[in-house]
Structure 1
Amino acid sequence: MRLTVYLAGEIHSDWRTEMKAKAKALQLPVDFVGPMEDHDRSDGIGAEILGEQPNPVFHDAAASSFNNLRTEVLMQKSDIIIALFGEKYKQWNTAMDASAAIALGKPLILIRPEELHHPLKELSSKANTTVLTVNQAIKALAYIFE
């Protein structure tokens, strides 16, 4: 059995690289997908496809429509979602993706530091499991294959 795993969460740190390396080291039969990690491309995709927009609000709205399309397709095709809430960056997209995973009925592993326990308690209670680290998430993923 091979699983497709959507990695939801901020795109500014290397947590996805760490996740992929750990999965490879364990020889887990998984394929990873996720949001566009090139921040400039993600922000500019609307103008790239539709042409220049009249102002920043329309620019963002155009980009959002294509990013939402990409996210929805990849999430629907995924077997499991892993959503990371980091300590440094704003987490709106992570919250949206984790909520979408729940709404789609996708299994969800939530990674969040202990200090975010209280603000994420409702989301955490809807996830299949909540862990504190990428390493714990990999162990949870590996457990599926035992």
Structure 2
Amino acid sequence: MEINVYLAGEIHSNWREEIKEKAKSLQLPIHFYGPMENHDRSDIIGEEILGEQPNAILRDEAASGINNLRTQLLMQKSDLVIALFGEKYKQWNTAMDASAAVSQGKPLILIRPKELHHPLKELSSKAKVTVETVNQAMKVLSYIFEKE
């Protein structure tokens, strides 16, 4: 059995690579999807496709429509969503993606530090599993494939 996992969350740190490397070292049959991790490309994709926009708001709207399409299609292909809420960056996109996963009936593993327990309590109650670290999320993924 193979599973597809969508990795939702901030794109500024290497947490996705950490998960992918650990899955590879554990020989877990997982294919990973996620948002465009090149932040500059994500911001300009609207203008690349639709042409120069007259202002920053329309530039953002053009890019967000294309990025939302990408996220929707890749999340729909996924069997499971892992959403990481870090401590450093604002997490609006993570919250949106985690909520979309719940709305689509996708099982959700929520990674969030203990300090974010209170602000994420409702979302955490909708997740299948809430953990505090990437390592804990990897243990959940590994457990899925245990035979005994």
What's the counterpart of residue 97 of structure 2?
97
What's the counterpart of residue 65 of structure 1?
65
Other structure's SS at 2:27 match = coil
- Report the Cα distance in structure 1 between the residues aligned to 2:82 and 2:61, rounded to whole angstroms: 26
Identity of aligned residues (%): 76
Q: 1:35, CA displacement in angstroms?
A: 0.1
Other structure's SS at 2:98 match = helix
Other structure's SS at 1:22 match = helix
The CA deviation string for residues 28-66 of structure 1, in whole angstroms up to 9 with x for no partner, is: 000111000000000000000000001000000000000
Alignment of 1:76-87 (within 5 A): 76-87=76-87
What's the counterpart of residue 53 of structure 1?
53
Other structure's SS at 1:83 match = strand
- Report the Cα distance in structure 1 between the residues aligned to 2:129 and 2:6, rounded to whole angstroms: 15
Q: 1:92, CA displacement in angstroms?
A: 0.1
Other structure's SS at 1:58 match = helix
What's the counterpart of residue 15 of structure 1?
15
The CA deviation string for residues 69-88 of structure 1, in whole angstroms up to 9 with x for no partner, is: 00000000001000000000
- Report the Cα distance in structure 2 between the residues aligned to 1:51 and 1:139, rounded to whole angstroms: 45
What's the counterpart of residue 130 of structure 1?
130
Alignment of 1:26-45 (within 5 A): 26-45=26-45
TM-score of the two chains, using structure 2 as the length reference: 0.98
- Match of 1:54, as an amino acid? P
Which structure 1 segments of 5+ residues have no match?
none
- Report the Cα distance in structure 1 between the residues aligned to 2:142 and 2:100, rounded to whole angstroms: 24
Structure 1 stretches of 4+ with a deviation exceeding 3 A read none
**Count of aligned positions:** 146
Q: 1:116, CA displacement in angstroms?
A: 0.1
Other structure's SS at 2:142 match = helix
What's the counterpart of residue 2 of structure 1?
2
Q: 1:142, CA displacement in angstroms?
A: 0.9
- Report the Cα distance in structure 2 between the residues aligned to 1:144 and 1:3, rounded to whole angstroms: 10
